[in-house]
C-alpha cells in the first residue's frame, strides 16, 4: 500500500514539555496487567513543537488534539479522597464547594486550547466539556461559541476521570448541541479502578440509543473492557471507535493479541474505526506500523482505518 492518507484522531498536546513528561510518567496502564507496555513510549514530550515534528515524521495529513483540562482530574480526585465515591447531588455540591470558579476556568482554557493551534492548520482542536462545573444548557451555549467563533471541531470527554457515565442525562443537551453543530465526540473507554464503571462500552448504550445520528467515538476500542465492544457495536451500528492505546499492548497479560484485535475490527466493521495514537505516549509512526502489521485485514481496510474513515466522519 503506497502513501495512504493518515489522520491521527487522538493526540494529547500540552502547553509545556514538562506536562507531557509528567502525563507519560503517571500512566500505569493497569488495565492490561502489571508492567510497562510492550510498545515503547515515543521520544517526544508532547508540546506543540513536538506534535508538529511527529506528524511530519509520520507524514500525517491531519490530527485531532483531544484537549482535556487537567485541573478537572484533580478536582474529582480531591472529592473522592474526602468523601469517597459519591455521585448525584452530593458530588455536585462538593464540586461547587471545592471550586466555584471551575466552570469559568474551563471556558477560558478551551479558548486558549483553540488559540494554541491557530498556527498549525493540520491540527484540529477538540475541547473539554464537563457536566459538573456548569449547567447543561450553559455548557451547550459555550460549545456553540467555541465552534462558531474559535475554531473548535469536536469534543473530548473522559467519563472515568470526570466521574459521570456516558448515559448521564445531563449530557443530553450537550449531545444535542453536538448534533446541531455537526461535530464529533471522542470519549475515553475502558475499565475504571473504582466500583462504578464509568467508561466501559456498555455505559455508551443509552447515548447511542437516544442519539442515533451522533458521531460518538469510543476511544481505545474499549481498552481493558474490549470484550464488551463487539456486543455494543452489534447493537448500535451508529457506534464509532478509535484504535488509540489498544494497539500498543500486544504481549501484555490481559491485552488482545494481534489476531484478537484484527478479528474484533473485522467483526465491528473497519469502516467504523479510526487510527489514534494517544500521543505523546506513542508516536504516529509506530501506531501506523501497528495497524499495518495486523493480520487478516486487507490493504483497503487498513487504509480506511489509517485515514479515509476519519476524513469522512470528522469532515476533513
25 preceded by cis ω (within 30°)? no
Cα 159 from Cα 12, distance rounded (Å): 16
At 2 the pLDDT is: 63
Provide mean pLDDT across the span 226-252. 95
Q: Which residue has the cell 490481559?
A: 254
At 93 the pLDDT is: 94
Give domain limits for the chain: 7-315
Query: Are residues 35 and 252 in contact, defined by beta-carbon separation less than 8 angstroms?
Result: yes
pLDDT beyond 50 at 134: yes
Per-residue model confidence as pLDDT tens digits over 249-282: 988 888 999 999 999 999 999 999 999 999 999 9
Sheet (strand 154-157) strand order: 7-11, 62-66, 123-128, 154-157, 185-187, 216-218, 240-242, 273-274
Mean of all residue pLDDT scores within the chain: 95
Per-residue model confidence as pLDDT tens digits over 76-126: 999 999 998 899 999 999 999 999 999 999 999 999 999 999 999 999 999
Strands 240-242 and 7-11: unpaired
Q: Which residue has the cell 483497503?
A: 300
* 35-49, 196-210, 295-309: the lowest-pLDDT one: 35-49
Per-residue model confidence as pLDDT tens digits over 20-60: 999 998 877 789 987 777 888 999 999 999 999 999 999 99
Reported confidence tier of residue 193, pLDDT bands at 50, 70, 90: confident
Cα 132 from Cα 196, distance rounded (Å): 17
Residue closest to 229 by CA, chosen among 245, 216, 218: 218
Query: Are residues 217 and 186 in contact, defined by beta-carbon separation less than 8 angstroms?
Result: yes
pLDDT beyond 60 at 1: no
At 151 the pLDDT is: 98
Query: Are residues 172 and 138 in contact, defined by beta-carbon separation less than 8 angstroms?
Result: no
Provide mean pLDDT across the span 160-176. 96
Range 7-315 has CATH code 3.20.20.140: yes
Amino acid at each position: 500500500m503506497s502513501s495512504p492518507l493518515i489522520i491521527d484522531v487522538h493526540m494529547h498536546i500540552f502547553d509545556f514539555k514538562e506536562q507531557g513528561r509528567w502525563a507519560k510518567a503517571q500512566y500505569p496502564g493497569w488495565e492490561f496487567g502489571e508492567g510497562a507496555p510492550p510498545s515503547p513510549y515515543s521520544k517526544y514530550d508532547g508540546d506543540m513543537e513536538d506534535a508538529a515534528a511527529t506528524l511530519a515524521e509520520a507524514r500525517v495529513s491531519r490530527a485531532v488534539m483531544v484537549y482535556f483540562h487537567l485541573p478537572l482530574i484533580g478536582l474529582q480526585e480531591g472529592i473522592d479522597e474526602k468523601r469517597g465515591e459519591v455521585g448525584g447531588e452530593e458530588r455536585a455540591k462538593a464540586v461547587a464547594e471545592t471550586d466555584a470558579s471551575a466552570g469559568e476556568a474551563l471556558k477560558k482554557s478551551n479558548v486558549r486550547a483553540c488559540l494554541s493551534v491557530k498556527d498549525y492548520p493540520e491540527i484540529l482542536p477538540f475541547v473539554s466539556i464537563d457536566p459538573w462545573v456548569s449547567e447543561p444548557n450553559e455548557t451547550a451555549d459555550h460549545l456553540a461559541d467555541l465552534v462558531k467563533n474559535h475554531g473548535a471541531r469536536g469534543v473530548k470527554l473522559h467519563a472515568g476521570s470526570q466521574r459521570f457515565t456516558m448515559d448521564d442525562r445531563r449530557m443530553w443537551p450537550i449531545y444535542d448541541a453536538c448534533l446541531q453543530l455537526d461535530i464529533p465526540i471522542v470519549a475515553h473507554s475502558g475499565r475504571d479502578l473504582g466500583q462504578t464503571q464509568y467508561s466501559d462500552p456498555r455505559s455508551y448504550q443509552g447515548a447511542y440509543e437516544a442519539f442515533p445520528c451522533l458521531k460518538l467515538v469510543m476511544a481505545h476500542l474499549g481498552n481493558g473492557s474490549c470484550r464488551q465492544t463487539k456486543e455494543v457495536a452489534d447493537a448500535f451500528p451508529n457506534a464509532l471507535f478509535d484504535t488509540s492505546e489498544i494497539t500498543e499492548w500486544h504481549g501484555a497479560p490481559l491485552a488482545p493479541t494481534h489476531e484478537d484485535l484484527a478479528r474484533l475490527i473485522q467483526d465491528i466493521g473497519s469502516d467504523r474505526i479510526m487510527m489514534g495514537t494517544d500521543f505523546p505516549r506513542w508516536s504516529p509512526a509506530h501506531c501506523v506500523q501497528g495497524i499495518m502489521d495486523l493480520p487478516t485485514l486487507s490493504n483497503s481496510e487498513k487504509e480506511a482505518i489509517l485515514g479515509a474513515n476519519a476524513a469522512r466522519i470528522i469532515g476533513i
